[in-house]
Amino acid sequence: MSVFFTLLFGPLLLIMFGFIFGNEPQAIFGGLGHLDISVPSYTAVIIGITGLTTLPITTATRRENGVLRRFAASPLRPLTYFLADMLAPFVVTTVGILLLFLLGITVYHVRFDGSWLNIILAVCFSTLTLFVFGYVLVGLLPTARAVMIVGNVLIIPMNVFSGALIPLEVLPDAVRRVSTFFPLTHVVTLLRGLWFAESWSAHLHEVAILLGVFVVGVVIIVRTFRWE
Amino acid sequence: MESVSGVVIEVAELVKTYPGITAVDNISFTVRQGEIFGMLGPNGAGKSTTIECLEGVRQPDNGRIRILGLDPKKDGFKLRERIGIQFQSAALPDRLKVWEAIDLFATFYKRPLDCHQLLETMQLTEKRDAYLAKLSGGQKQRLFIALALVNQPELVFLDELTTGLDPQARRAMWSLVQEIRAQGKTIFLTTHFMEEAERLCDRVAIIDHGQIIALDTPQNLINALGSENRVIFATAQPVDAAALEAIPGVHRVEQIRDRVVVYGPKDGLVGRVVNALEANGIAFDSLQAEPPTLEDVFLSLTGKEIRN
């Protein structure tokens, strides 16, 4: 069920908001249509939901049920576990994103000026960073229930205020200032930039912040993650 | 202290405290190669904490542990390659199939057993495609033992192996443990079942409040009690306890509804009780003599009965 949801969530968002807003060029978006900027932005929504809810809730539930404890009693290396644990959600997330791209480009004819290589790199990098963020929640919170609550409490405002679901251009200035504290905002800015052929060097700020989240997150995980 | 050959587990002055409670209070013992060593005690006595310290999944506050000559704290990964662990409480995802679970765990180790062979030994072949959620308690337990054996371990830890199983499954599990030992493996198990410890273990450490209060073979522990036997019979008549207590050597008499238990020295007790009953004209039924069990050992050492 959750696989199905993750795969189709992006395309569904696009279809629903496509009905509402269409894709007429608008001055506020610098001549781009709503859907043009939505495709790279919704990517962040998918990454955020998997990273902050699906992945950490699954892991915390496994910890609670004693599954992780059983793994910890084997010579399985923790890094191997984390990589294997991330693989399935990573594949599902990236395939879901691909479906969103394909629908946007082929059916809605949204503008895509960037390079596939850059977009793929940015999606992978952002996904890994948000996954790390998710494991931080598991490390810091005692139960699966707490992870579910905090994950949702974080992801909902992030989706609404980071420009992921609603373009930053239409949000009030105050919201835009607060939203710089959300990692997801920087994912949105990076992906939108690369989508419209801006260079990596124009987004060193976002890359540095996400890299910081990644590194600090890994340190927190190493210090706090317990197998039971 | 160098590792002596033939010694598989060495524990010296092990201490583990949790806030407000000393779970394991300065215990020391050794386990030899090929032994079935049991730790017997009531729930909360410190058995699981001890076994988890030995397995390296819990860090002791004090003491020295060597398992197969390795320090579980420093050489955890190396050690876990060579030991098998069955937890009292552990789980795997319900949507995993039996063969998938074994296949997965086989990848964690350098020299895993063949999956088919393992399923066969554990009598799980018919269940190989079943989801874990669909297994009975005994089948699930057999699967967890299979996972503990998949790496061909030299030493197997079994924590409360038969808790929650029906008597038939429990007996099947005992013969399984004996088969595992017959393959030359050493077994360290914990239990709160007297009968299990008595039937299965070569040596038993009785633990209470985090301390080992006795450690020997079950027979020696029983013998150390002295030779007190008991004679049990049923009768419909009221029995004058004084008449039975007057029998030479009888220690005490207990009456529980229509059953009477007479405690006394082993030699000649049955004859003397029967004579006394006939002399007093007491009709009796289903009279039997019982040798003492570990239950009596536990009772006399702790002054309380072990509770299931």
pLDDT of residue B282: 84
Decide if A70 touches B, using CB distance below 8 A.
yes
pLDDT confidence of A128, banded at 50, 70, 90? very high
Q: Which two tokens stand for residue B134?
A: 């669909």
Inter-chain touch B147–A75, beta carbons under 8 Å = no
Residue B87 distance to chain A (closest CA, Å):
8
Look at residue B3 and tell me whether its pLDDT is greater than 50: no
In chain B, where the domains are located: 7-218, 227-291
Query: Between residues 7 and 36 of chain B, which touch chain A (CB distance below 8 Å)?
Result: none
Inter-chain touch B92–A67, beta carbons under 8 Å = yes
Which residues in chain A have Cβ-Cβ distances shorter than 8 Å to B85?
Answer: 73
Residue A83 distance to chain B (closest CA, Å):
14
Range A197-222 average pLDDT = 96
Residue to mutate among A61, A64, A74, A76, with most B CBs inside 10 A, is A74
Look at residue B298 and tell me whether its pLDDT is greater than 90: no
B131 pairs with which residues across the strands?
Answer: B97
Class of domain B227-291: alpha beta
For A80, the closest chain B residue by CA position comes to B108
Residue B82 distance to chain A (closest CA, Å):
9
Inter-chain touch A70–B147, beta carbons under 8 Å = yes
Quote the mean pLDDT of chain B: 88
Inter-chain touch A70–B80, beta carbons under 8 Å = no
Decide if A3 touches B, using CB distance below 8 A.
no
Decide if A62 touches B, using CB distance below 8 A.
yes
In chain A, where the domains are located: 2-224
Q: Give the residue among A165, A157, A159, A172 at the shortest CA–CA distance from A21.
A: A165
Residue B127 distance to chain A (closest CA, Å):
21
For B76, the closest chain A residue by CA position comes to A75
B226-281 tens-digit pLDDT: 767 888 888 888 887 888 888 888 888 888 888 888 888 877 888 888 888 888 88
Contact, A22 vs A107, CB < 8 A?
no
Inter-chain touch B90–A70, beta carbons under 8 Å = yes
Residue B50 distance to chain A (closest CA, Å):
15
Residue B300 distance to chain A (closest CA, Å):
37
pLDDT confidence of B306, banded at 50, 70, 90? low
Contact, A58 vs A90, CB < 8 A?
no
pLDDT of residue B2: 43
Range B46-69 average pLDDT = 92
Inter-chain touch A67–B91, beta carbons under 8 Å = yes
**Beta-carbon pairs below 8 A across chains A and B:** 41
- Residue B298 CA to its chain's centroid (Å): 13
Residue A139 distance to chain B (closest CA, Å):
18
Q: Which two tokens stand for residue B299?
A: 């009772």
Q: Which two tokens stand for residue A104?
A: 């946007």
B178-193 tens-digit pLDDT: 999 999 999 999 998 8
A65-103 tens-digit pLDDT: 989 999 999 999 999 999 999 999 999 999 999 999 999
Burial B242-265 (b: 16+ CB within 10 A, else e): eebeebeebeebeeeeeebebbbe
Inter-chain touch A73–B85, beta carbons under 8 Å = yes
Q: Identify the residue with better confidence: A47 or B138.
A: A47
Burial A160-193 (b: 16+ CB within 10 A, else e): ebbbbbbbbeebeeebeeebeebbbbbbbbbbbb
Dist CA A32 CA B42 (whole Å) = 73
Decide if A76 touches B, using CB distance below 8 A.
yes
Inter-chain touch B91–A70, beta carbons under 8 Å = yes
Inter-chain touch A69–B80, beta carbons under 8 Å = no
Residue B119 distance to chain A (closest CA, Å):
19
Decide if B75 touches A, using CB distance below 8 A.
no
Which residues in chain B have Cβ-Cβ distances shorter than 8 Å to A77?
Answer: 77
ipTM of the complex: 0.81
What's the CA dihedral at B97, B101, B107, B112 to 10 degrees? -110
Look at residue A227 and tell me whether its pLDDT is greater than 50: yes
What is the separation, in whole angstroms, between the first and last Cα of chain B?
38
B154-171 tens-digit pLDDT: 999 999 888 888 888 888
Which of A69, A76, A77 faces B87 most closely, judged by CB atoms?
A69
Q: Give the residue among A139, A134, A122 at the shortest CA–CA distance from A186.
A: A122
CATH value of B7-218 in 3.30.420.40, 3.40.50.720, 3.40.50.300, 3.90.550.10: 3.40.50.300
pLDDT of residue B305: 66
Look at residue B1 and tell me whether its pLDDT is greater than 80: no
Quote the mean pLDDT of chain A: 93
Contact, B272 vs B247, CB < 8 A?
yes
Residue to mutate among A61, A67, A70, with most B CBs inside 10 A, is A70
Decide if B231 touches A, using CB distance below 8 A.
no
Range A120-133 average pLDDT = 97
B81-132 tens-digit pLDDT: 999 999 887 788 888 999 999 999 999 999 999 888 889 888 899 999 999 9
